[in-house]
């Protein structure tokens, strides 16, 4: 009994540490996003030039992902989280003191690399925690990213309204985060990779209360990619699901990245609002995303993943249409609210599915889907910048209507309601959930 209690206590401590990472990531990224108009003005950049600068972040993240996957496979996600969050924090504060555009680009490359590495590593940690707790939890982890985004956005609005300089603003944020990480980093889950699929092994080790064994994956679900650098020709059902999960993640995360980096600029220069009101666009997006994600775990236990993703995509599409057709601030803010609520549960659902695909080594499918998705998250902002230069921001944001529409059609093609192993006879989870 003591061992079980101690194990539960340790898992809760691990869970809280991962929660802190998600919040930290959201705080830093939102703080950066809300001060983009000031940085654009400081370096006297056009929309086109800002789009080119944002490409540097995308390059840093994309180039970091293959080595990040390799390091997670060799060292485990814990140490990768620890190193990447420190690098993320250091590059964040350094950006505020960049003396020129060239130096800023170097620092933004490091910022993007740390961001991409941390995202993959912390989602790997979250997937392991969800498996240990034996219940849907991914949406609540991502909800805390949204809480962090909300905190970062609110502090950004306050700092802007108070006339606080970017170095002072970023410096205070970095100081508070550093103190927080002293608590969180030593408590991350030690979860070295195993050659056996996480989902499959847990299902095999679990005994259903009815006595029925967990359903075994068929030979057709053997993975196309067992390691990052492995290549295999057959296209199996699991491989198609990984691809479609990645496509959905790409489309939705492209929209998330574009809203994060361009919402303030859209309101400021596109609708001629004040700088303070411009920051409210992303704050509204973050608030509604937070609300939706806190409800996500409850919804995922009652509706199929395909239904959730399809309905959420439709809501986001309605918000985007309202946003791009608006000529005043209020309709645009309502549009941001709908987009935030619509996008809220899609990525947690996708990542939860990817972390439990049978036949894959732990973290491999999740890392692959994350990599595809973050291509969209990081390439979305510069794409909007280039389109805004060629046309205008209203037309540029219309690209998000197309990508969000794609997720409506892919949602039901690959997602089912069997993410968690179920007993064939009783229809109940094979593993008892640890009480949170």
> HSE on the CB side for 97, CA within 13 Å?
8
How far CA 171 is from CA of 62, 147, 164, 167, 434, in Å, comes to 27, 20, 11, 6, 39
> HSE on the CB side for 155, CA within 13 Å?
24
Residue 190 makes CB contacts below 8 A (sequence gap 6+) with: 76, 78
For tokens 């659902």, the residue is: 349
What pLDDT does 218 receive?
35
What pLDDT does 92 receive?
93
Is 221 within a domain?
no
What pLDDT does 232 receive?
41
Is 193 within a domain?
no
What pLDDT does 229 receive?
35
> HSE on the CB side for 65, CA within 13 Å?
22
Is 196 within a domain?
no
Is 203 within a domain?
no
For tokens 């093609």, the residue is: 413
What pLDDT does 2 receive?
44
Is 226 within a domain?
no
What's the full length of the chain, in residues? 436
Tokens describing residue 382: 């510069």
Give the residues of the chain that fall short of pLDDT 70: 1-6, 191-238, 360-363, 412-436
What pLDDT does 388 receive?
86
What pLDDT does 363 receive?
62
Q: Which domain holds residue 272?
A: 2-188+237-414
Q: Which of 145, 135, 156 is nearest to 31 (CA)?
A: 156
Tokens describing residue 44: 């006297």
Give me the number of domains the chain comprises. Answer: 1
Contact of 253 with 344, CB cutoff 8 Å? no
Is 232 within a domain?
no
Residue 24 CB coordination number (10 Å): 25
How far CA 100 is from CA of 20, 43, 50, in Å, comes to 33, 7, 14
DSSP 8-state class, residue 165: -
What pLDDT does 361 receive?
61
Is 218 within a domain?
no
What pLDDT does 338 receive?
95
* CATH number of the domain within which 251 lies: 1.20.1250.20
How far CA 313 is from CA of 69, 116, 241, 402, in Å, comes to 29, 24, 18, 11
Contact of 257 with 114, CB cutoff 8 Å? no
How far CA 2 is from CA of 51, 286, 431, 432, in Å, comes to 56, 41, 20, 18
Question: What whole-number distance in Å separates Cα of residue 220 and Cα of residue 279?
Answer: 50
What pLDDT does 426 receive?
34
- The mean pLDDT value of the chain amounts to 79
Question: What whole-number distance in Å separates Cα of residue 188 and Cα of residue 16?
Answer: 8
Is 155 within a domain?
yes
Which residues, listed in sequence order, are joined to residue 422 by a DSSP beta bridge? 429
- 422: phi then psi, degrees, rounded to nearest 5: -125, 155
Question: What whole-number distance in Å separates Cα of residue 362 and Cα of residue 196?
Answer: 7
What pLDDT does 412 receive?
63
Whether pTM exceeds 0.85 = no
């Amino acid at each position: 009994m003591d061992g079980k209690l101690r194990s539960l206590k340790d898992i809760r401590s691990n869970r809280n540490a991962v929660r802190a990472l998600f919040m930290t990531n959201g705080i830093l990224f939102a703080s950066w996003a809300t001060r983009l108009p000031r940085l654009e003005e400081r370096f006297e950049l056009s929309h086109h030039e800002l789009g080119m600068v944002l490409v540097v972040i995308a390059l840093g993240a994309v180039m970091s992902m293959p080595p990040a996957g390799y390091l997670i496979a060799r060292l485990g996600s814990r140490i990768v989280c620890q190193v990447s969050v420190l690098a993320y924090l250091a590059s964040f504060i350094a950006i505020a003191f960049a003396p020129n555009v060239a130096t800023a680009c170097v620092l933004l490359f490091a910022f993007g690399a740390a961001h991409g590495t941390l995202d993959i590593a912390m989602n790997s940690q979250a997937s392991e925690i969800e498996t240990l707790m034996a219940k849907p939890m991914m949406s609540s982890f991502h909800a805390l990213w949204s809480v962090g985004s909300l905190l970062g956005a609110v502090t950004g609005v306050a700092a802007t309204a108070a006339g606080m300089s970017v170095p002072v603003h970023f410096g205070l944020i970095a100081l508070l985060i550093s103190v927080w990480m002293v608590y969180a980093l030593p408590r991350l889950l030690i979860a070295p990779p195993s050659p056996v699929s996480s989902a499959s092994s847990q299902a095999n080790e679990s005994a259903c209360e009815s006595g029925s064994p967990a359903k075994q994956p068929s030979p057709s679900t053997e993975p196309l990619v067992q390691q990052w650098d492995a290549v295999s020709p057959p296209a199996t059902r699991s491989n198609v699901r990984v691809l479609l999960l990645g496509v959905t993640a790409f489309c939705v995360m492209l929209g998330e990245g574009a809203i994060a980096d361009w919402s303030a600029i859209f309101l400021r220069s596109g609708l001629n609002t004040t700088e303070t009101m411009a920051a409210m666009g992303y704050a509204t997006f973050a608030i509604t995303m937070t609300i939706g994600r806190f409800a996500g775990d409850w919804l995922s236990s009652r509706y199929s993943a395909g239904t959730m993703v399809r309905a959420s995509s439709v809501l986001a599409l309605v918000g985007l249409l309202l946003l791009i057709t608006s000529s005043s601030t209020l309709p645009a803010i309502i549009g941001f609210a709908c987009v935030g609520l619509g996008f809220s549960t899609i990525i947690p659902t996708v990542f939860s599915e990817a972390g439990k695909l049978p036949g894959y080594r732990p973290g491999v499918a999740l890392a692959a889907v994350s990599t595809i998705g973050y291509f969209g998250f990081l390439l979305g902002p510069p794409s909007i910048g280039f389109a805004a230069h060629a046309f205008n921001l209203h037309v540029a944001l219309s690209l998000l209507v197309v990508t969000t529409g794609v997720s409506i059609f892919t949602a039901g093609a690959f997602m089912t309601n069997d993410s968690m192993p179920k007993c064939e006879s009783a229809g109940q989870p094979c593993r008892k959930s640890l009480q949170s």
